[in-house]
Each structure stands twice: as structure tokens, then as C-alpha cells.
Amino acid sequence: MSVRVLFICGDTREVKSTTEQLGRFLLQACVELNVSTSFAKLPNQFGPNGHLMELLAAIEQADVLVLAYPLIADSHPAVVVRLMEEMIKHRNRIRGKKLLIIASSSYPKASRTDISIAICHAFCDEMDYKWLGALAMGEEAVINGRSLTQHSRLTQPIITSLQLTAEALSKGHSVPWEAQKLMAKPMIPIKLYEHMVAWNYKHVANKNKVGKHIFAQPYAFDKNDLF
């Protein structure tokens, strides 16, 4: 029986989600290797029963869980924490899975995901799952939710990394070191990335006619009126 992979997209962004693009590419590569795949996007809020029960049913059906998320405030988004809390509560129903993590960060270095990945490792131990490894990516803004093949010269290391990962998943193996290394490789020089991001934010703010107010402090009030 072929391996069943479930990609869980832990990005609440509705458009331009790099996490989603990584997932779509990985799943396509898996399909080409005759791996059965499914995709689930975490909802902004878990309803009392609906979304959570659907998701747990999908997890129950899968052999390999690929949990992917963007880094927010140095760790995974709240919605992913919530998923972990719920999965721990229902652990008896969803035993014996393998877990792969894909973490992307808008910071230049992929290593900034280290704490969040360590937390995911702790989650894997708590659930008694098999750890397949983690792919960490920096410079998320280079992709900015576009298809990986759109700028394939820049994204080639990521494409190769995901292809190697799909191959490993099809055999039920851990993610090879080579795939992890390629994913972590900066797509453009770090200095250039930092300038590009700053320039882009200013450019978009100007386009939105708020360039002059980019340093605004709207939350600064007279403290005596507030408390």
C-alpha cells in the first residue's frame, strides 16, 4: 500500500502564502511518485466541532503528516499551537504517524526557526510519532506566495530540496540531509535580501499613499486616559 501524505498548511494568510506554495509543490512531486496526498489548511479559528473533527479525520487517514508554517514572533503561529493542543487531547485517535516539519521565515537566515522546530520535536515526542526531520527556509519574501517555478533560477535549491523530500517520503524515509541543506540555503545574498525587503516595503507603502506615515505611532496615547 502506498504512503498517504497529509500536508497541513499552518498559514492563516489567505493570499500569497509561501507555505501553501511549498505544500502544493511538494504534494505534486509526491503524486508523480504515486504517493497518495491530501491538503488541509488550518482555519483561522477552530469551530466547536466542525473544522477540528474534519481535520482529525484527515489526520487519522494519513501515514505521514507534513506540518508547515511561517514563523511569527519567533515561533509557529497560534493556530498551529492550537492544533498541537487539540491533537494532544485526541492522541488516542491519531496514533502511529510520522511527522515532517516545514518552517519558513521572513528573516534572512533559516536558523531563526530553530526554537519553533525544537518545540515541534517536543510535540512529536509527546505524540510518540516518528520524526522525519525538518526543512527550514529563510528569505521567505523572495517567494512571497508565488509559484516556485515562477522564479526557478532563484528557487532551484528549494525545488530540488522538495523533490528529494518527496522521494524520501514515498519510501517512508526521513528527510535527507542534502534536502535540509538546500532548503536552508539563502536564495539571494543576505545583504541584498535585507535591502530588497526594506525597499519593497517603502515602495508598497508609497503606492498605498502612506509612505510618509510608515513610522506612525497610533497606539501611543495619554496613559492616564487609558487605564
By the criterion CB under 8 A, which residues form the site for another protein? 11-14, 44-45, 70, 72-79, 81-82, 84-85, 107-109, 112, 115-116, 118-119, 122-123, 126, 194, 197-198, 201, 204-205, 208, 210, 213-221, 223, 226-227
- Please give the radius of gyration of the chain, using alpha carbons only, rounded to the nearest integer: 19
Q: How far is the CB of 43 from another protein (least distance, A)?
A: 9
Q: How far is the CB of 195 from another protein (least distance, A)?
A: 9
Cβ closest to another protein, residue 3 vs residue 143? 143
Cβ closest to another protein, residue 11 vs residue 63? 11
Cβ closest to another protein, residue 53 vs residue 78? 78
Cβ closest to another protein, residue 153 vs residue 209? 209
Cβ closest to another protein, residue 139 vs residue 167? 139
Q: How far is the CB of 165 from another protein (least distance, A)?
A: 24
Cβ closest to another protein, residue 65 vs residue 197? 197
Three-state secondary structure along 11-61? CCCCCCCHHHHHHHHHHHHHHHCCCEEEEEECCCCCCCCHHHHHHHHHHHH
Q: How far is the CB of 127 from another protein (least distance, A)?
A: 10
Q: How far is the CB of 104 from another protein (least distance, A)?
A: 12
Q: How far is the CB of 223 from another protein (least distance, A)?
A: 5
Is the Cβ–Cβ distance between 11 and 20 less than 8 Å?
A: yes
